[in-house]
Amino acid sequence: MTRTEATQDLPDSRRQFLSHGGKAALIAALGAPVPFIDNLAPGVMPEALAQVVGEAKGKRGIRVLNDRPFNAETPVTLLDDDITPNERHFVRNNGIVPERAWKKDLKGWSLQIDGEVGKELNLSMSDLKARFKSVRRTLVIECGGNGRAGYDPPAKGNQWTLGAVGCAEYEGVRLRDVLNAAGVKKSAVYIGYYGEDIHLSRDPRKQPISRGVPIAKALDEHTILAWSMNGEPLPAYHGFPLRLVCPGWPGSTGGKWLKRIWVRDQVHDGTKMTGTAYRVPRHPVAPGTDVAEEDMEIIHEMPVKSIITRPGTGIETPLAKQLALRGHAWSGWGDVKAMDLSIDFGATWISAKLGAPRNPYAWQRWNVQIKFPKPGYYEVWARATDNRGHMQPMLVPGWNPKGYLNNAMQRIAVKVVA
């Protein structure tokens, strides 16, 4: 197995654990008995294996959903940082990571800008850094399918729970500055991106994914071409040498391993831009409904959402002590204006202290102290409301065939003891 395959950077023990699963495979991979093996959640990488893999991937503590292509999410209790460390940031890939990304090799690389422009550009990394003003932005990236595991009947695809999201600091240039240098024509409607990632079939004629955004979003001042993530060159899994970040929209609009941006006079029709990919029904449908393609629309803004990062579910706390809770909230529509929690199944709500974002499209820290009235079992429900009045629903929102946009309130269980 070569480094350019989907499991190129997985040691044999990790590959065995992912491929075969089960207690016996895990014990064999670790080389020792595991006394509390029944307590290990499915898909969670044991720390001993995480240490080995971490040297190659730069990932630790994440929950692996599959390895061809590699996709992994982060347990919400590991998303407590205001800025998500690279090793804790989720990964959503559609194909095989290109060899260039592992070697950090810029030889022969350039970014092509063509299509509905007055002047085609071919820009090296040096060109990008020298010709355009660099910017730094702390930005949330969230998979459109984050929360898919909550839909019933189940939708096909990675069964993300809540951890397909992260908020990192990116450095790069505004896409609009680059497009303006190329001279965007009035006929421009959409952009489409192309990356160097490899289709799982290894057929060079096929693209793993080629999506894009309307020209207005491409020209938005917050849409950037990023070469750095948290102060270092983009990690291999996050798009070295260059990626798009289209904040507030599904992570799939932020193409990685960029080599070309095609300015188009129509809605882009690349791989995973047509059919039902990253689309939801135009009108509410009953769960399990077959929806015609013409009745589906492309996802734009991601819904308002929040997570509880402290404490984890199942905690036991004394009645005499207030319980400190905290987490993050964000919205693709703008800032979050209110964060509320309930301990009585939504009958009443407690306002949390909500911090301001570092910049537009960064998530916002919230925290609160809660005093419980008497011993017993409680659920803490968390609900964010953004500045346009969008509020998280109590239950899983409108069902859709692909399981997108689940922003139901997170709940954690708390046992209060005398």
Q: Strand 258-264 relative to strand 111-115: parallel, antiparallel, unpaired?
A: parallel
Lowest mean pLDDT among 13-27, 146-160, 225-239: 13-27
Contact criterion met (CB below 8 Å) for 364 and 355: yes
Which residue's entry shows tokens 């057929």? 203
CATH code linked to domain 305-417:
2.60.40.650
Q: Give strand pairing partners of 227.
A: none
DSSP conformation letters of 177-238: HHHHHH-B-TT--EEEEEES-B-TT--TT--S---EEEHHHHTSTT-EEEEEETTEEPPGGG
**Where are the CATH 3.90.420.10 domain residues in the chain?**
101-298
For 102-111, the pLDDT digits (tens) are 999 999 999 9
In this structure, the number of other CB atoms found within 10 A of the CB of residue 183 comes to 15
Q: Which of 137, 211, 212, 207 is nearest to 179 (CA)?
A: 212
Using omega within 30 degrees of 0 as the cis cutoff, is the peptide bond preceding 214 cis?
Answer: no
Contact criterion met (CB below 8 Å) for 168 and 213: no
Check whether 13 has a pLDDT greater than 90.
no
Contact criterion met (CB below 8 Å) for 304 and 333: yes
Helices assigned H by DSSP within 257-327: none
pLDDT of residue 314: 95
**Where are the CATH 2.60.40.650 domain residues in the chain?**
305-417
Q: pLDDT-derived band of residue 68, with 50, 70 and 90 as boundaries?
A: confident
Contact criterion met (CB below 8 Å) for 144 and 180: no
Contact criterion met (CB below 8 Å) for 380 and 368: no
Q: pLDDT-derived band of residue 6, with 50, 70 and 90 as boundaries?
A: very low
Lowest mean pLDDT among 30-39, 89-98, 160-169, 210-219: 30-39
Q: Give strand pairing partners of 351.
A: 340
Phi-psi bin for 46: left (phi > 0), alpha (psi -120 to 50), beta? beta
pLDDT of residue 35: 78
Give the span between the Cα atoms of 308 and 367, in whole angstroms. Answer: 9
Percent of the chain topping pLDDT 90:
83
In the numeric block, which tokens belong to residue 156? 């096909």
Give the residue-averaged pLDDT of 334-354: 97
For 266-282, the pLDDT digits (tens) are 999 999 999 999 999 99
Q: Which CATH class is domain 101-298?
A: alpha beta
Q: pLDDT-derived band of residue 38, with 50, 70 and 90 as boundaries?
A: confident
pLDDT of residue 2: 37
Give the span between the Cα atoms of 46 and 143, in whole angstroms. Answer: 24
Give the residue-averaged pLDDT of 353-370: 98
For 127-142, the pLDDT digits (tens) are 999 999 999 999 999 9
Check whether 11 has a pLDDT greater than 90.
no
